[in-house]
Each structure stands twice: as C-alpha cells, then as structure tokens.
Structure 1
C-alpha cells in the first residue's frame, strides 16, 4: 500500500537579482511567482483574504491574508481532509492526482466568513463557515452534486445563490441553512457565455465569479478561443436573474480568470492568474477603471509591469518557506506551508 509523503504547498521559484532589486521599489507583476491557482479574494476592513485550489492535498483550501494586496501569508485551511475514500487515501491502487477540490469562492456576509468549493472526486459541493478566519476551525456543509467552478453569492434580498457552468451558465438558490438546493430554482442564466470571444472556442466560459457594484451585477468568466489565448469575459445585468450583456474585457499574455477587489482608498483591481509552465498558475493584479458602468481592465489593455502598491518584502513572502524541522516547545509539528499529498496516515510519521 502506498503511503502519503509530505510536499510543500507551493513550489519555490527562482528569481534573478534584477527582479529582486526592482521589487524593493514598487509592487511588480506577477505579485506572487508561485502556484496560487483559481484565486478568490475579499476585503474586510483594511485586510484582504484570498483562497486558492490545492486539489488532492491535505490540509486543503488554503486561506491567505494581506494588508496591501502584495505581501501574503498563510493563515488557515478550510479543511484537514476532504473525504476518506480510496482516491484520497492512496489505497486500492487509486489516487486523486489533479482531482480533489477545485476553484473556491470566498465571501464575507453578516460577520461570517464563507468559502465554498466542489470536488468531482466526491461529486459534492462544500461550504465552510467560520467567524474567525485566521484562528478558528471551519464548519463544513456539503451536498450533492458538485457544481463546477461555481460562485457563491449572498444577494441583498436575503437569498443565497450558486452560479456555475461551462459555456451555458446556470443559477440555483440555496436553502436558508445552505444545506442544499431549493427545489425548482435551477435556471439558465446565460445560454452561451463564450459568445463575446467568438465562435471558435476551445475552452468554453467557466470560472464564474459574481460581484455587485453600484447596483449592477458583474459576472466574470474565462474562455479560451482556439489558436488564441485565455480571455476575460464580463457579463453585466441590472438584476441577478438577467438579462446579461457581455463583452471581452481583457486579453493579454493569457492572464485571465478571477474577479474584482477594491482598496479602502477607492482604487480597483482585477485579480487574475497566468498559466506559467512548471511554476504553476501565478497571480497578477491589473488596475481597473470604470467607464459607462463597465470595468476597464489594464493599462491600454495590457498587464502593467509595476503597480501603484507597496513593494514586495520578499520574493515569495509568507507562502513558500524552508524547514529544518527543529522545534521549540509549543511550536506546531508542521507549519502551515506543509501539506500531505493525500490524507495522512498519522501512524507513519512523527517529528
């Protein structure tokens, strides 16, 4: 029987001294040169929080914190283990490599933090809740089926929705306790969300993230036209139920999939990521301005090299770390930067 082994949360990337020197002066894209895929981001007061995908790893669904959108540190995980089935315990010749839990949706509503995800491995949708995002244990709610790349949304009418799909985007309303779906609430929101990117689509619109700004709803997706690059599509509506009008919002370097975040000073950014080979999916920030009720991403439609944000305090601060396994009394056995590559068998390790 295979036994799980330890693996760092994110793979260390190597920078040149030129990049390191530049980052002392101002924030630089990418803001993190390491694998932080499928980000979801919120601001609560002066603090920002970000969730990400960790697939088959345990603990999973990492939560990161920043006070400047540039320097991030791990503060918690939403779960220790996702499930105990063979794929996640490396038993009976099964594994969950590349599976497990995917794109999450992080929210803050009525003094409670919520982060949701889905897993084709278990065919379930998960919602985790806590009042203390940095220190408390998360409570789990789960139900079937797995709603692909969904966005969790608490509307002003007191209702809670999930929006999900690939190409054809659908919406459901959740029960008041979030334990499942209200019957007969499923509806098609956008018949073909890929349409603004043209007819020759390889990857149809997915990665739903919904935001409400000044009374309007903005639904972000990524699509990938064939023989082209990953593209940001935004649909806008006056009601959550639509109708939605869509447009291509950004296409540069394949930087796509994400959503909106604002600062206490009133500045807006889009958080997006870029597939970067063996390094993984690396996060970018793109400035956002507003024109005629639409978010306009980038500087002249491009990803800026530098940002009007505080400089990075390190190459990959607070997310990648080394460990010599020496411990002082009271220290955690394994710091947050460590994960197991499947559910751990605690009989087979000690420190």
Structure 2
C-alpha cells in the first residue's frame, strides 16, 4: 500500500489531473500551529506565509510543490522592532501581539509580504526578488491596517483591503511604501458579517482579496453568536463594489484563508482550524465553481478528511527538526525551525564557544520564565510529539534555572536550579497561570537529560515531564500539565530551551542537543 501511495504522489507531480482519482492526503495538512496563512503559486511552486507574532525572526515563509508538504525556507524579518516590549525589557512583553496576519503576493518579479502590528501601531511591508534567500527590503507606515490583504490590480494601482465588520479599501503608492497621498480610505462593505447572521460574535475579518476572470472575490472569517467560525465570500465586478456576499463554508470551525489553484486547474481553499493546545492548524478544502461563485467542500459545504493530493509526509524536518548544534563552515548558526521568544540578545548565545553545544548565558536578573531573555523555541506537533535535550549545568550560578519547557501562558518546565553549593532537578507547572513547584530532586552530577511528551490526540492536550541521569533510563518528574491555548499568548505550545538568572548574571548552560520525535515512549 505504501508503494502504491508513493507512486500516486509521483504521478501527481507529472499529471495534476490524476490527483482527482485517488485521495492520498489527509486533513489537517499540517498538524501544527501555522495560522493566518497567505498563499501564492509561482509556476509550479507554492509559497505560504503565516503568523508567529512575538517570535523572532518573524513571518515565516514556507515552500511546497504539492500544497500538502511544506518546509521552512525564509523569514520576512529578523526583528520587528527593538522597543522594550519586543526585547522583554523593563518588565514589558508583547505576548499575543507582535505581527499578525500577513499577506503574501508576487508582482512583476518581486515578492511582497505585508503585515501589521499592534506593538508598533504600523503596517509593515517586506519585499525581495528572492523569497528563499533574500535580502528583504523593509518599509513601514501608519496606521496599522487590521487583517489587510495586499492587492495589485491589473491597471497598476495598489490597494489594501482591511477592517473588521466594516471592510475598507485604501490605495497605496506604487512602491507599496505607504498610503497614496491625496486619497482617503473608503468603506466597500458596511457589514461583511451579514451573510452569516445579524449578531456576529466575531465581526468579519481576515480579508483576502483575489481577482479571477475579471471579478473580485473577498474572503473573510466571521463567527455568528452561538455558532461556529464561518467563511464568508463577497463578489463584485469593481474593486469598490457593490459587493454581494454569501456563506461559503460552515463546518468544523474551519475558516480564514483564501484561494489557490494548481498548474492543472484544480482549485482549493486554504483555511485553518482552532485545535486546542497545539494551535491553529491548516486545512485544504476542494473548490468547485458554480455560476461564478467558489463552492467550498466535498461534498459541498463539508470539510473532507481526505484529499486528492499527494500523501502527507512527516513534519520533521520540514517545519520542526532535531538539532545536534554541530555546524559546518558556512552553515547558519541556527536552522530556520528555531525562533526566539521575543528578540534575542545575540551577545549571550553561541554555537561556537563550545563546538557542538548551544550555550545560553545569562545577562541580567529575571523574575520569571515568561520574562526571561533568549529562550529558544520551536513548534510542538500533533497528534503526539516529544522534545528531548541534554544539558551541562556545571557553570550555573546560584539562582540560575536552565532546562526544557513547553511555552504558553500555562507553561511547564523541567530543569536544574542552582543554589549555593547545590543543584536540584525541578519541575514547575503554571497550569493555574501561576508557577508552582511540583517536585524537587537533588542533583550531584553536571550533565542531565530532560524530555517532555505532548499528547494532542483528540484534544487531550497533556504534557508529561521526565528526567534521566544517563540518557536512557527515564523517570517521570512532577506531574502532567493540562495544556490550554490561551488568548493572552495566542499561540500553540512550543518546546523551549531556557536559562535565566534570579540572583546574579553571568552563569551559563550548554545544551548538547535537542531531539524532536513524533511518537511517545511506550
């Protein structure tokens, strides 16, 4: 059977029409936190941007040749801004904010990624000739245009469509550097939520605008009070309207996204679903055209479990990956799978000071894990996964805490705390949103191993914590963490390597490796 599926996948690359014969892919196409997708096709290659908010680098760019299997290839920026909230300075943070839903476009040989940020109060536009290698040019302007869609029209004019409930249209300068002087944004849809009902709990937002066969199609998400997340589509003959709208999909809460076509002429809607602690996960929904309207679902109105597309491959190493922290000449210091929690202090981490190790050095005293600088993260994945690390703690100072965590507002940690003349293995749970020490064990050696297993199957959303003194025999520590997706952080759980000081700066921990697994121990 496996050979048969692989054969189908290979045939699909040569004859996209064959995709319609035997479903091979399954939803979700990515079982990980990849929300607010924006997608383009350039020739036979697809590119997708997503939201990672307060993480640095930001606005990840992913690549696929089949719409199902994606790998990270770039980020639009290294740092969004250096203000206190992004550097975790003076007690400030920007959890749940940073940069939000991006818009990815390709126009006359240039790739554009635009986003907006409550943190800065600005709209940010990044552009490049080479989306995989850069460099990226950055411009920004006020105001911050909420959930906008960047749009290049056939007549050479450039726009952003944006807003919540009331959808507006703003014209930009030809170089996409700001609002066009002498123009005023205008309302093009007074109440975009209306097709889904009169009382939206979430006004229509997440605009994505497309022009297909001379008509304008605007995709939005809304959430009728007492209902579920819903896709609404409006259509017009002119960009300024008038627009007529209808509900395009109301199933499983799968919503927010847009349209993409294949080289063979098939159409899909890319959307995402809120799925508990793992985050917001991408789905693909087949699209048929009827009387000039996109009809989503197979059958109409339903999100299919399987898709007539090539089979899903593991997310390792495309979106997450193990790292031995060994680097050859010319390799980047950190692979793209890694992102820092807020902006890092680059003077305080290294993969060269001790070859084969990631060194995290403390540069200040911090009061909590959530305010600690230089926490290195990558996504958790479903349905189950595990993160494993080994850490040398011989150079921790009294008051230092170093180890492995799962990051969200209700986080969990397992690591080593140093005190005067002693060290201890400690497990901390913030399930109550306040850190509670669940277990402390004396440690008399300098190297220790930690593992966290995450079970997202059927939204179980439980993390379990382990330690080992030899790297092979594992013992549970503390207790299970009931993970929860909280809006203040607005992000799926992430594995995190951390070291922070509570008494004096200058100590450090050396992480030997981080290994990602897509299974749990038996």
What is the CA distance between 1:317 and its match in structure 2?
Answer: 5.2
* 1:318 alignment partner, SS class: coil
Q: Deviations over 1:80-115 (max 9, x none)?
A: 000010000000110011110000000000011001
* 1:88 alignment partner, SS class: helix
Q: Compare CA radii of gyration and give the structure with the larger one.
A: 2
Give the 5 Å matches for 1:1-351.
Answer: 26-182=24-180, 183-300=182-299, 301-315=301-315, 318-351=318-351
Whether contact under 8 Å (1:250, 1:298) holds in the other structure is yes
Measured on the aligned residues, the alpha-carbon RMSD in Å equals: 1.4
What is the CA distance between 1:332 and its match in structure 2?
Answer: 1.6
Whether contact under 8 Å (1:34, 1:316) holds in the other structure is no
Runs of 4+ with >2 A deviation: 326-331
What is the CA distance between 1:328 and its match in structure 2?
Answer: 2.6
- Counterpart CA distance in 1 for 2:211 and 2:176 is 21
Whether contact under 8 Å (1:70, 1:312) holds in the other structure is yes
Q: Deviations over 1:39-62 (max 9, x none)?
A: 000000000000000101000000
Between Structure 1 and Structure 2, how many residues are aligned? Answer: 330
- Counterpart CA distance in 2 for 1:161 and 1:76 is 25
* 1:96 alignment partner, SS class: coil
Unaligned runs of 5+ in 1: 1-20
- Counterpart CA distance in 2 for 1:302 and 1:315 is 26
* 2:207 alignment partner, SS class: strand
Structure 1 length-normalised TM: 0.92
Unaligned runs of 5+ in 2: 1-5, 10-22, 352-522
Moved more, 60-69 or 327-336: 327-336
Whether contact under 8 Å (1:118, 1:125) holds in the other structure is yes
- Counterpart CA distance in 2 for 1:185 and 1:48 is 34
- Counterpart CA distance in 2 for 1:43 and 1:288 is 16
Over 3 Å counting, the alpha-carbon distance change for 1:218 and 1:266 in structure 2 is same
Structure 2 length-normalised TM: 0.62
- Counterpart CA distance in 2 for 1:346 and 1:237 is 49
Moved more, 279-288 or 133-142: 133-142
* 2:116 alignment partner, SS class: strand
Whether contact under 8 Å (2:171, 2:183) holds in the other structure is no
In structure 1, the partner of 2:400 is none
* 1:103 alignment partner, SS class: coil
